[in-house]
Structure 1
Amino acid sequence: MSDAEVDADRATVALRAAKNGAAVAADSFRTDLTVEAKNGKTDVVTQVDRDAQQTVIETVRDAYPEDPIVGEEEGALKEVPESGPAWIVDPIDGTNNYVDGTRAFGTAVAAVVDGEPVGAAFDCPALSDTYRVGPKGPFRNDEPLSVSDCNDPEVATVCPTFWWDFDQRDRYAAATREVVKRFGDMRRFGCAQLELAMVATGALEGAMTDMAINSWDSVAGVQLIRAAGGVVTDLEGDRWRHDSTGLVASNGAIHDELLAAARAIEG
């Protein structure tokens, strides 16, 4: 990824905002939390999610007071503007993990201009890992990121990422079937941004879904993968955008097989 594709100032603010939001989450991790359901039994939220989002918003607005902010919780927009700058926030990606005391969660912040990311950060406080794109290339902590060079699907590890709800479990079953029959192994961590970040580090060769995905669950991780040399497309094989249907993310070498697996979910 060239420096021309990164706005160093916005990338720096994204990193600061993600760290500040993650610190709020870390302060209450493994404490007695009040958990509320939003749109289903497995779609949950806590007051910590709201507090972390507010902290992120305040950090961003200190630097860019006029920019619109898109976020998962109330108090933020739900759609990414087609033009101009904006920020995309997931205060706690992996809330179910967070509630259960599992370390796989974090705060994601992406800066976009005209819908395209120009800087992103994902901070996982319980794992002591911070992923970022910009001001210079992609990093986990101080380690430069690069996708895996594995080109054999039969030794590749793939994640059927995001969440198929109870009325879509046939598609969830189809996704896992396609992964286990085509690839060497399967992982799932319950935190979409972490799963995408793991593709960027080479810990996974790919992650895929056939669904349309919320921008706060995806944009930061997608930029990490692309900056690390990977490929992210929609189900048609076209370049993925925040409003695409389906997300197929890979190291590039196994992308055709992963795309075929994602397309096969609906038969």
Structure 2
Amino acid sequence: MRDKGKTDVVSAADLEADRVISAAIRTAFPDHRILSEEGAQTHSFDYSGPLWIIDPIDGTANYVRGHPYFGISVAFALDGVVVAGCVHAPALAETFVATKHGGATLNGTIISPSSPNGLIRSVVSTGFPHDKSDIEKPLRRVRALLESCQDIRRSASPVLDIAYVAMGRLDAHTETLFAWDVAAAGLIATEAGAQRGNLEAVPINVPVDLFGGEVVFSAPSIFQELMAQLA
């Protein structure tokens, strides 16, 4: 295990999972490009054409401590539009899959989000950045959630948090994330019927499907109320 930053780590398992997944993609699709969390520093962020987006282990801090809440995320996009995605939680034996206009499933069973009667009856998950230099924004988010919803969760694997919104274990998730966090999980959530929004403007050079800035995934019944509360 080595540090990526003051509070972020990468394990040998991250690197090996990245190698195995990337090798399989390159063998099957040698002309396709790959955007992976572990290789993001060398990526040109050209989203055109066929692109695979990988997070080999989301929730590394959980994984290295033996906590089962971590996931593997793989998505496929064409010209910035995510058309297929999979989030696999190996320690929980759960696999979430979605295709564009094809719905979403958990272990082969169709899933859909919850329908809470108001934000005050909702459980919302969130997260904190590894870079603590601007901690005030997430702290304001937590305060807004504590004042308006039933309870909050912070489980440190946003790909699973978003997938849980898709199937109703959570009512919403909000956090500032990266393309590899939202690509597969975002498709799973929206194909299941959840709503998606951003509290900050999407840059013109970044596809909406791959932008995670102040992103919100929510059960439809509380989406507008949650967006207003967090604005």
> What TM-score, normalized by structure 1, do the two folds share?
0.79
User: SS in structure 1 opposite 2:54?
Assistant: strand
Q: Does 1:122 align with 2:90?
A: no
User: SS in structure 1 opposite 2:210?
Assistant: coil
Code of the residue aligned with 1:48 in structure 2: it is: A
Q: Provide the alpha-carbon RMSD of the alignment.
A: 2.1
Code of the residue aligned with 1:174 in structure 2: it is: R
Q: 2:77 corresponds to which residue? A: 112
Unaligned runs of 5+ in 2: none
| Cα distance between partner residues in 1 of 2:211 and 2:153 | 26
Q: Does 1:154 align with 2:120?
A: yes
Aligned residues of 2:182 and 2:212 also touching (Cα < 8 A): no
Residues 190-243 of structure 1 deviation map (CA, whole Å, 9 limit, x = unaligned): 00100000100111111112x3x2111111111011000111111158894323
Code of the residue aligned with 2:22 in structure 1: it is: I
Of residues 195, 204, 210 in structure 2, which corresponds to 1:242? 210
Q: 1:262 corresponds to which residue? A: 230
TM-aligned CA distance change 1:157 to 1:55, over 3 Å: same
Aligned residues of 1:234 and 1:240 also touching (Cα < 8 A): no
Q: 1:223 corresponds to which residue? A: 187
Aligned residues of 1:71 and 1:89 also touching (Cα < 8 A): yes
TM superposition shift of 1:87 = 0.3
Q: Does 1:187 align with 2:153?
A: yes
Q: Does 1:233 align with 2:197?
A: yes
User: SS in structure 1 opposite 2:214?
Assistant: strand
| Cα distance between partner residues in 2 of 1:220 and 1:162 | 20
User: SS in structure 2 opposite 1:81?
Assistant: coil
Aligned residues of 1:70 and 1:86 also touching (Cα < 8 A): yes
Map 1:49-128 to 2 at 5 A.
49-74=14-39, 78=43, 80-128=45-93
User: SS in structure 2 opposite 1:38?
Assistant: strand
Q: 2:220 corresponds to which residue? A: 252
Aligned residues of 2:179 and 2:212 also touching (Cα < 8 A): no
| Cα distance between partner residues in 1 of 2:141 and 2:125 | 9
| Cα distance between partner residues in 1 of 2:129 and 2:225 | 21
Aligned residues of 1:233 and 1:240 also touching (Cα < 8 A): no
| Cα distance between partner residues in 2 of 1:178 and 1:164 | 21
Q: 1:132 corresponds to which residue? A: 97
TM-aligned CA distance change 1:132 to 1:125, over 3 Å: same
Code of the residue aligned with 2:65 in structure 1: it is: D
User: SS in structure 2 opposite 1:241?
Assistant: helix
| Cα distance between partner residues in 2 of 1:106 and 1:52 | 11
Q: 2:133 corresponds to which residue? A: 167
Q: Does 1:198 align with 2:198?
A: no
Q: How many aligned positions are there?
A: 226
TM-aligned CA distance change 1:256 to 1:237, over 3 Å: farther
User: SS in structure 1 opposite 2:105?
Assistant: strand
Code of the residue aligned with 1:45 in structure 2: it is: V
User: SS in structure 2 opposite 1:245?
Assistant: coil
Code of the residue aligned with 2:223 in structure 1: it is: H
Unaligned runs of 5+ in 1: 1-34
| Cα distance between partner residues in 2 of 1:44 and 1:92 | 11
